[in-house]
Structure 1
C-alpha cells in the first residue's frame, strides 16, 4: 500500500501539494486561446489524462503554457479500476509519464470498470459490491498509488442499475476502500444526486454515510432527464447542461460540513461559451468564500 513515506518520483514533492480550495474548470481545447489571452481568475484546470497520452502535438503545447499559470488536476477515465482482470500496465506507464511531465496537484479515477480482457468499452460501468470486488478494487488502487508514488482520489459513480448479488452498501464500500488503501475521495455531487434519484435513495443519507473527511476534490455537473420503462424519473450523467439547483443545494450542505475544498465545474457535452462556464465557477467560488468566512 502507498504511504507518504515512500520515496517519491523526482520532483513530485511540490506536486503532492493540494489543489487550492477554489472553483476550477474542465479545460476544453476550444478554450485554450481564450484562457491564455484573458488569464481568467480560476482556481485550477482539470483535463482527462487519456487525451494527453501522446508524446507531443498542439494539446501538449497549450497545456504546457496553461500549466505555467494555473494548478492542474489530472482525471483518468480509462484505468478500469473495478475490472476483474489486471490493470493495463502500458496505460499505467503512460499515466506515470504524464504525471512526471506536468506534476499535477491531483490525480483521480472512477470507481467503475470499462474493459474486459482485450475489449475496451466506451463507458464507466457499475460494480457488484461484495467482498471479492472490495479486495480487487483495493489491490488495484494500491497498484496505481505505488506506480505513481502518490495518493489518488477515487470518484463515486453515477449508476443506473444495481447488482442483486451486492452485499455491501455503496457508501460503505467506498469508505472501506479508502480506509484500506489510503486513497482520498473525489466527491461528485452530481453523481450522488443522479444515482440516488435513479435508485430511489435519499441523497442526504448517502452523503451522511460517506467518509467526507477524505474528500480532496468535488465535482459539479449537469444531467439529462428521462423516464424509465415504469415511468419513474431517470437521470443521465451527461455533463451537458447547467448544474441543477438540487445539486447546488447539496454542494452547499457539504461545504458547510467540511469547509472549502477544490471544486471542479464539469461540462463535456453542449459546451457553451467560456464566459458561461466562468459564471458557474464564480457561483461556486462565492459559496467557497462564504463557508470559509471570506467576503
Structure 2
C-alpha cells in the first residue's frame, strides 16, 4: 500500500493558512459566484472552498477575479470533472495542460478527479460514467493517473463514483480496484460518502459494510451531498446523486462512523444546483465540523510521565 496522502497547506503572502494538522479538520463548500458577497461578509470559519476546474480554464475575466478573491483567504480544492481517467481514449493533452496550469496558478491544497469516464471519440458527455473493474481497466486508469500526476507534480485524489449500472465484465470489487490503483500509482482517494450510499441502494449492498473495508488511511478528502429518490423503468427505487439538496441524515450517520474510525479529514459539502441561501450552505459545513470536533474531544489524551 502506498504512503498516506498528506494535505499540503500553502498560502498567499500576507495570508497565513492553517497548519497541516489543523487543515485536516477543515469543512468546506463548493464555491458558487452567487455566494461571493455573503462569503466576504460572513466568513466560513475553519473552512475551504472547492471549484470545478473546467469552469476556470479561460485565461481571465470575472470567474478568475472572484476565485482570486476567495483564494486570498481560504485554502482551495481543485476538482476536475472531464479528464475521463477511465476512458478508452488517450487523455486530451490540451485539457491536461489547462488543468496543470490551474494547479500552478492557484496552488490548491487538494487536487482531485473522478474514477469514471466521460468522453469517447472526441465527444464529451454530460455525466460521469462507470467502469468495468478488471485488469485491463486498472492498467488504463493507472497509466492515466501517472500521466496526470507527472503533469501536476503532486498526488491526485480519485473519487469513488455513484453508479446506476454494473458491468458483467468486472472481475474485482470496487474497493479492491481502488486499493490496487492506489498501490500502483501512489495517488490518494476522495471518499464521497453520498456516492457510496447511492450505489449501495441502487445495487443492493450495505453502505456500512463497504465503508468498513474502505482504505481510510489513503483518503485525502471527503465529499458529502444530497440525493433524490426516483423509480426506474421497471418501477424499482433508484437514487440519484443530484447535489441539489441538503445532506440526508443517513449519510450524516455514515460520515459520523467514518470519522470515528478514520479521524478527521477535510470535508466538503457539494451543492451544485437549486442553490440555497448562504447561511444554509454554511451551516451544513458547520455540522461536519461539529462531528469532527466531537470525535476529537472523545479521543483519550496521552499521559506523559516526567
TM over 0.5: yes
Equivalence map 1:101-116=2 (5 Å): 101-116=105-120
Between 105-114 and 231-240, report the one with greater CA deviation: 231-240
2: CA distance, partners of 1:14 / 1:151: 15
The CA deviation at 1:231 is 3.0
Partner of 1:147: 151
2: CA distance, partners of 1:153 / 1:84: 20
The equivalent position to 2:214 in structure 1, one of 207, 210, 216, is 210
2: CA distance, partners of 1:139 / 1:209: 25
2: CA distance, partners of 1:210 / 1:259: 14
Q: CA deviation digits over 1:127-173, x for unaligned, max 9?
A: 01111000000110111001100001000000000011111111111
1: CA distance, partners of 2:222 / 2:128: 18
1: CA distance, partners of 2:197 / 2:148: 28
Partner of 2:234: 230
Q: CA deviation digits over 1:2-47, x for unaligned, max 9?
A: 999xxxxxxx9948x8544221010001011221222231410100
Partner of 2:140: 136
Partner of 2:251: 247
Asked whether the equivalents of residues 245 and 274 of structure 2 are also in contact (C-alpha less than 8 Å), the reply is yes
2: CA distance, partners of 1:3 / 1:253: 23
Is the partner of 1:79 in helix, strand or coil? coil
1: CA distance, partners of 2:29 / 2:235: 35
Partner of 2:291: 287
Is the partner of 2:271 in helix, strand or coil? coil
2: CA distance, partners of 1:275 / 1:264: 15
The CA deviation at 1:70 is 0.5
2: CA distance, partners of 1:3 / 1:116: 33
Partner of 2:72: 68
2: CA distance, partners of 1:145 / 1:237: 28
Between 201-210 and 147-156, report the one with greater CA deviation: 201-210
Partner of 2:264: 260
Partner of 1:158: 162
Partner of 1:58: 62
2: CA distance, partners of 1:45 / 1:129: 32
Is the partner of 2:226 in helix, strand or coil? coil
Partner of 1:92: 96
Tell me which stretches of 4 or more aligned residues in structure 1 moved more than 3 Å. 12-15, 17-20
Is the partner of 2:113 in helix, strand or coil? strand
Between 208-217 and 78-87, report the one with greater CA deviation: 208-217
Structure 2: gaps (5+ residues): 12-18, 300-306
Corresponding residue pairs, total: 286
2: CA distance, partners of 1:192 / 1:75: 18
Q: Does 1:119 align with 2:123?
A: yes
Asked whether the equivalents of residues 26 and 265 of structure 1 are also in contact (C-alpha less than 8 Å), the reply is yes
2: CA distance, partners of 1:183 / 1:275: 34
Q: Does 1:48 align with 2:22?
A: no
Asked whether the equivalents of residues 47 and 74 of structure 1 are also in contact (C-alpha less than 8 Å), the reply is yes
Is the partner of 2:158 in helix, strand or coil? strand
TM-score, reference length from structure 2:
0.89
Is the partner of 1:293 in helix, strand or coil? helix
Is the partner of 1:175 in helix, strand or coil? helix
Is the partner of 2:297 in helix, strand or coil? coil
TM-score, reference length from structure 1:
0.93
2: CA distance, partners of 1:276 / 1:23: 14
2: CA distance, partners of 1:58 / 1:252: 38
2: CA distance, partners of 1:69 / 1:63: 11
Structure 1: gaps (5+ residues): 5-11
Between 218-227 and 34-43, report the one with greater CA deviation: 34-43
